[in-house]
Structure 1
């Protein structure tokens, strides 16, 4: 039977559609047909649909790839062809459409400022990086946001001339300021310091000193490294007297996906916006799917495992509320790994957590994802940070079926949704490095932080001397296209809010420092694109 099946596959893919089938692709097709028990008289028709759907993919290579075959098969499952009936969305295996993405596994998509598009480099990114990449990644960040600004309706001139044509906003480069003292300009660039310590605005053509005496900042947090829009007067002292300063406008996910739907940002294959929309009925039908997020899970704290046992027991007893994914973010001890007995505390803590998870067999179908914190081994000031070392996680990986340790930041992919997880005390770091902020009440700081990182399309809009980034891995820190949700795991108080369609949440610290209080975490529901607070009191 196997010989006949392979002959049928080769006849359709290779003979009829002139596609080259490598051995792994041929084996994958064969396994799918056998696992689904497709009758022999339906082989030819099924392979026809599959080959046609594969060729519809963006830039489908003649050398057939398994990723391309998987995308075509998923579309067929959802009724992607006109000749087949769509199956019940609730019958689709959602596990096949979920994955955790490590930052170091993401394709290094570089933004070409000239072509206004993304391209893959010839060589894989390296930790050290080349000297030219020290400035290249900042130019890319500047170029991406500049393209977003120019697509914004307020910066796009009308196609037909008239009175409205003079009302659109126009950007000016720093190189066009000389000899135009006394005039007002709108500039876009990065806040930085010159060798004399003065605040400047730097763009692709040069820099100009900023006089902030009369500046009125807009909403958000402004630090060195932020890309900002500045309106001001050019003076005879060759600086800009800033009148107003604001963050660039954000671009919604659907707009960016419409422009770059063919680009594979996460790995595992690109998905066009049209294909993404086909998954919506399936996501809505699976209301039971949820992701639970915990932060600051101190495994050496005497109350942590006691509280976790009650949490896991509750989920094991209530199958309708059982999360598909548990995400645990560091720090995983109170004092970090440095110092006497540091590594022993981690090893004992994860061994105890392994035994705890194994005591609930009903939860073994769930995924357990672990994201390191700032103090976890091997702690480093550079971003992104690699996953926790196998020397302390080996036993958990061997015993827990669906456990995975990933980088910080990391991403979850669920059908067409992208959830970014970032463990960083970001609020405190941003407030310590403020250049300007609108004078508002403390309650607005959460909204300001969320607005800042989404407008900046970056998780860490800070300079290298404050928060270093691995030059060739800066693409893993981008928030472009805007994700579906962002988990900002911070020791700051918990919150959840939505900005430009992106849901942002901070689950808060799971461990209570005192003897009383509540243990809190957050649960995200993909079908609602919203989260809710969960809490447990041991008292």
Structure 2
């Protein structure tokens, strides 16, 4: 029995009625009327009706017309800077896909918003450059999400965002977004944001596993750190485009000094003592009257060395590199020239408060004197780039003042934990490759508060938020392993929830350069020392299962000691090869396997053999801990210059707490450069049966530690020496820069007393040797509290 074909007037359920369209009557009849095939196929009730596509009439949008809107979105809202090429590319894209409704309907503003978010998600920097491929990739990905001039998120069968790239294979989608990490959506129909920061963490990650602070720990080697160079023209940091090499051309040696000078020069000009006021009433000079009004209106100015020509017997302040000339006399160099330096009558500022050695960048205030008897040549009135005739008589010498980390990054708040201000600073610069302070700092501090800010034990213990730092672990000494067993036994006795998250063991791991046949043995004996260390660590499986052990080499460790024979090796240097440390890594693998077998949970304790120097990043840019092993004190004593005169203590000469002298103290009285509350020299648990330290020795040790810390941090460089005394790898000197100041710094120096000193907000620690010198059966190390940002020298008998 044949059925009649349904007509438009037939009685059907409302859910099956077709939408009324202007072309309701279809002139084309059904192809199979005998089988009652409807003229208009019935769509399923759950099928999504695709919206009609609106045709967009492309226009030619001038970049100048789009500039105000782009400036409001990129600069005002997202603190980004558009170049002219980038504006041209974006204007062409908006004119093509938004058409005439780019302004009236607000289509351009939404496109600009998505492009800005995607650029920040890729961490492309503060400057949006149209010549880079990142912007083109963002626009190409955004093109697939444009519909009717609007940005829409098309729903795909894989439930992924329309900006996801890649093909589906066997039901799996290759998650490659706009610089985003894979984030599969568990709920059907969920849509992710079109632009997220690459370090933003979703709510699902705030589980118990992610609350372990060790999950946010990252060790960055010197050869992995981004190579940044300060651009004087842009007043910003740029990535070095050149490929690094261990044997670079000679021009890179000059670039090492140029980069150091430019970095300190811009830091110095940011200091309030070198910022000229609106008006002045007196000539700037180091000798000032006691009048507070006159003092507040003075500032210091730097004079290039080339500008000294023709200014005989005039007072100036120079900033330059202290060197030894070919004639054997002292000289000071800057980017414009060189001049002989006479420090016969110079007074260091502060008195005996810092070291001054050739290879350091210093500030000298004095008078220039021409030599009328010399004409031409190196001793005459040379031009720019050569040696200036005459000499510069220095009266005061000091190091460039240090700059706090909060000031460098432009952070607000007294402790530098506020938001990034709109003023100066380099908050957008990613110095370590873990995200900039401006992008992820606030969110990382929130996770830090949830992880380690609250006490993890009822007794108020420090818990997981601790780092144990052990220095000079000489494995060829039997007492070292005994001291190490005592140290590890104290922490193994604690509960697993309160185990320190990191143990840092620093070299030298042997007393002599055994790789160069120094002392005794060779490579075979060197490996046996680490095998004995692996046996010692295996006795404490709970520590190996729940902590990260970091090993920093010294100058006597392989392979560098095989050709240096114990002398100073080139910095930075690589870690100890795996051929010697295989047994230690096997001990960690066995401990993790045992924990997984007994507890059923996977353990992730690990041993990391990093470079010297290296950096520890905790919660992104929130905590930066610098690790460096070098006997700097002895090298400073051998190479530093000696002053014959003593400073005259009078009211007419006032120096700021930080050299060089300044008219006003750059830090309030409540915030001295050295924080007295965080200075620790005396042993916390002295034993009356041992040789105790007298008060005079404690004062001397405190002065020596402050002198060392001030010298290094003011220079902002880990190796402020002549390249003949401490060679460096020219293409990797950016890893030696201490700018911005780290949150904490481990300066392992066995020739200096063990100390914990805070200077300009940077907590510097020296663990010394694990076996306390001159004290029998005493193990010494430093315990650093990440929550309080303070270290403590600890001792124990073994």
TM-score bracket relative to the smaller structure: 0.7 to 0.9
Partner SS, residue 221 of structure 1: coil
What is the aligned residue count? 497
Aligned-residue offset at 1:285? 2.8
CA–CA separation in structure 2 for the residues paired with 1:188 and 1:355 = 54
Match status 1:270 vs 2:436: yes
Contact 1:300–1:345 under 8 Å retained in 2 = no
Match status 1:334 vs 2:511: yes
CA–CA separation in structure 1 for the residues paired with 2:233 and 2:536 = 54
Aligned-residue offset at 1:291? 0.7
CA–CA separation in structure 1 for the residues paired with 2:508 and 2:578 = 17
Match status 1:459 vs 2:734: no
Q: Residue by residue, what CA displacement relative to the aligned partner does 1:66-116 show, whole Å, maximum 9, x if unpaired?
A: xx2xx1227x679xxxxxxxx799973423311111101111111222222
CA–CA separation in structure 2 for the residues paired with 1:184 and 1:6 = 77
Partner of 1:374: 555
Aligned-residue offset at 1:279? 4.8
Contact 1:89–1:281 under 8 Å retained in 2 = no
CA–CA separation in structure 2 for the residues paired with 1:361 and 1:88 = 26
Give the 5 Å matches for 1:369-518. Answer: 369-378=550-559, 379=561, 380=564, 381-400=569-588, 401-415=605-619, 416-436=622-642, 442-443=700-701, 444-491=703-750, 492-512=752-772, 516-518=776-778
Partner of 2:329: 198
Match status 1:72 vs 2:200: yes
Give the 5 Å matches for 1:204-243. Answer: 204-218=335-349, 219-237=353-371, 238-243=390-395
- Larger Cα-atom Rg: 2
Contact 1:333–1:345 under 8 Å retained in 2 = no
CA–CA separation in structure 1 for the residues paired with 2:316 and 2:773 = 51
Partner SS, residue 332 of structure 1: coil
Match status 1:170 vs 2:301: yes
Aligned-residue offset at 1:342? 2.7
Aligned-residue offset at 1:497? 0.6
Partner of 2:109: none
CA–CA separation in structure 2 for the residues paired with 1:250 and 1:436 = 23
TM-score, scaled to structure 2: 0.59
Q: Residue by residue, what CA displacement relative to the aligned partner does 1:390-445 show, whole Å, maximum 9, x if unpaired?
A: 12012222432410101111111111110001110111111111014697984422
- Structure 1 spans left out of the alignment, 5+ residues: 16-21, 55-67, 79-86
Contact 2:305–2:336 under 8 Å retained in 1 = yes
> Compared with structure 1, are the counterparts of its residues 333 and 250 closer, same or farther at alpha carbon in structure 2 (3 Å cutoff)?
same
Q: Residue by residue, what CA displacement relative to the aligned partner does 1:313-335 show, whole Å, maximum 9, x if unpaired?
A: 22111126521101100111222
CA–CA separation in structure 2 for the residues paired with 1:212 and 1:399 = 58
- Structure 2 spans left out of the alignment, 5+ residues: 1-154, 167-172, 282-293, 372-389, 411-424, 456-461, 589-604, 648-698
Partner of 1:145: 264
> Compared with structure 1, are the counterparts of its residues 9 and 151 closer, same or farther at alpha carbon in structure 2 (3 Å cutoff)?
same
Partner of 1:65: none
Q: Residue by residue, what CA displacement relative to the aligned partner does 1:273-332 show, whole Å, maximum 9, x if unpaired?
A: 545554552442364211111111111211222222222122111126521101100111
CA–CA separation in structure 2 for the residues paired with 1:385 and 1:40 = 51
> Compared with structure 1, are the counterparts of its residues 53 and 354 closer, same or farther at alpha carbon in structure 2 (3 Å cutoff)?
same
Match status 1:248 vs 2:388: no
Q: Residue by residue, what CA displacement relative to the aligned partner does 1:142-190 show, whole Å, maximum 9, x if unpaired?
A: 00000011010011112x3354796111111111111111111111111
Partner SS, residue 347 of structure 1: helix
> Compared with structure 1, are the counterparts of its residues 413 and 30 closer, same or farther at alpha carbon in structure 2 (3 Å cutoff)?
closer
CA–CA separation in structure 1 for the residues paired with 2:319 and 2:503 = 41
Match status 1:7 vs 2:151: no
Which among 32, 40, 44 is matched to residue 188 of structure 2? 40
CA–CA separation in structure 2 for the residues paired with 1:342 and 1:500 = 44
Partner of 1:118: 237
Aligned-residue offset at 1:475? 0.5
CA–CA separation in structure 1 for the residues paired with 2:427 and 2:157 = 33
> Compared with structure 1, are the counterparts of its residues 6 and 517 closer, same or farther at alpha carbon in structure 2 (3 Å cutoff)?
farther
CA–CA separation in structure 2 for the residues paired with 1:526 and 1:89 = 20
Q: Bigger CA drift: 435-444 or 319-328?
A: 435-444
Partner of 1:161: 279
> Compared with structure 1, are the counterparts of its residues 457 and 223 closer, same or farther at alpha carbon in structure 2 (3 Å cutoff)?
same
Partner of 2:534: 354
CA–CA separation in structure 1 for the residues paired with 2:538 and 2:177 = 38
Aligned-residue offset at 1:11? 2.5
Q: Bigger CA drift: 110-119 or 218-227?
A: 110-119
Which among 227, 235, 254 is matched to residue 135 of structure 1? 254
Give the 5 Å matches for 1:50-65. Answer: 51-54=194-197
Partner SS, residue 303 of structure 1: helix
CA–CA separation in structure 1 for the residues paired with 2:178 and 2:238 = 31
> CA-atom RMSD, angstroms?
2.9
Partner of 2:793: 533
> Compared with structure 1, are the counterparts of its residues 525 and 513 closer, same or farther at alpha carbon in structure 2 (3 Å cutoff)?
closer
Partner of 2:138: none
Partner SS, residue 472 of structure 1: helix
> Compared with structure 1, are the counterparts of its residues 195 and 23 closer, same or farther at alpha carbon in structure 2 (3 Å cutoff)?
farther
Partner of 1:285: 454
Q: Bigger CA drift: 189-198 or 304-313?
A: 304-313
Partner SS, residue 53 of structure 1: coil
> Compared with structure 1, are the counterparts of its residues 517 and 95 closer, same or farther at alpha carbon in structure 2 (3 Å cutoff)?
closer
